[in-house]
Amino acid sequence: MMNKSLKRIALLGSTGSIGTQTLDVLHRMQDDFVLHSIVAFNEVNILDKQIKDFHPSKAALFDNIAAEKLSALTNIPVLSGNEGIISLVEDPEVDIVVNAIAGAAGLLPGLAAIRANKRLLSANKECFVMAGHIFRDAMKNGGDIIPIDSEHSALLQASLAGKHKEIKELILTASGGPFFNKDIDFNTITPEQALAHPNWSMGQKISIDSATMFNKALEIIEARWLFDIPSEQISVLIHPQSIIHSLVEFNDYSQIAQLSLPDMRLPIQYALTYPDRKNCPIDKLNLAEIKTLTFHEVPVDRFPAISYAYKALELGSLAATVANAADEIAVSLFLSEKISFADISRIIGAALDHFAYDNSYPEIDEIILRDRETREWVMKKYP
Ligand code: NDP
Ligand code: MG
């Protein structure tokens, strides 16, 4: 018989970088958690292997044909499409939803989790960028959100040192990506160069976003909504070693930081065990060995993408949706070598200028429509 105190997990994006690391963490914590379901886009063979290795009770693939193929390989129910994914999220047997889907595709499943009053552990940041005000509203009914993104996990941990009203500033650290310290022409950068992150091994999209620093723009907007702090009180500090994962400054000018070696298994595990802590098999941080931690201001002229966060927060969630959608298309055009690295930031800026923003707090349908219109606009302009 199933132990009632076991928490049941739906893992969305199980085949990705965060998804596979979450499976690794869960595998060591079988006394506390049980994997209820796994979800991916179309990776039939990886999902089939994960079903055999980790024994979830249900699975879903976004892609219908891939879901049919998986059905033929396994005995467990396989659902498909957004409806299938959302029905797994809403399943009464599920206690915790881990959202590790990449990009805007994580929006509706993440929102469904909060609306069904689940605990949502979110690596996906795009959902808060596009609809942060809707998530905050939906949380009033009882669901809660624990961030997996390392900076926001650090902010959560540091924020526990004081009260919300005592917070003066959220200071997000950024590695600066592979080009911060390099004298390199941004028009000549290849996908291979941009994918080589100095400290973290991540999915392709977020690796490119780290190189342009648009990832930090997304994280500023994510922090604004997750911590309910206005954008004037959120800043970015370049810290190339990625040891300090972010800091909270309180009204007495105390700054509280969270430090550890860069390894996503720690924020994933902390989100699972929050507010408790458990042993984690990552390497111990030895500051005497590291010796030097350095800090720099962001050179916004080289990384204009970062300034779009403040602009989007001023204009409202439809602008943040435009910036995010334009970046998703621009990154895929760059990866297929159709545009230059410098074009990514140019395209986001041009898209932000193109659209009008008369509603700061749009409904979800308006957000989804604007996301689609932006993608179409970018693809038409840069075929
Ligand atoms: P990956 O590209 O490695 O993985 C993406 C996952 O999402 C895959 O499992 C993919 O399935 C699935 N997926 C994509 N589209 C859909 C869809 N429409 N429906 C269902 N599943 C879908 O991404 P990452 O793991 O790097 O990133 C995931 C999220 O976590 C992003 O929002 C990212 O910003 C955030 N994040 C990532 C970090 C990292 O270290 N990687 C750090 C902090 C945040 P399939 O394999 O079938 O295509
Ligand atoms: Mg991050």
pLDDT digits (tens, 9 = 90+) for 317-354: 999 999 999 999 999 999 999 999 999 999 999 999 99
Would you say the CB of residue 203 lies under 6 angstroms from ligand 1?
Answer: yes
Ligand 1 centroid–CA 379 distance in Å is: 22
Ligand 1 centroid–CA 71 distance in Å is: 22
Residue 57 confidence (pLDDT) above 90: yes
Task: Convert the pLDDT of each residue in 68-81 to its tens digit.
Answer: 999 999 999 999 99
Distance CA 273, CA 264 (A): 14
Mean pLDDT of 358-371: 95
Q: Which tokens sit at 72?
A: 């033929």
β-partners of residue 60 are 39, 79
Residue 216: what pLDDT? 98
* Residue 152 near residue 222 (C-beta atoms within 8 A): yes
165: DSSP letter: G
The conformational region for residue 316 under phi > 0 = left, psi -120 to 50 = alpha, else beta, is: left
Residue 382: what pLDDT? 85
Give the residue whose CA is nearest to atom 16 of ligand 1.
Answer: 41
Q: Please tell me the pTM assigned to this model.
A: 0.97
DSSP assignment of 343-378 equals HHHHHHHHHHHHS----SS--HHHHHHHHHHHHHHH
User: How much of the chain is helix, strand and coil, in % rounded to 5?
Assistant: 50, 15, 35
282: DSSP letter: S
Mean pLDDT of 354-367: 95
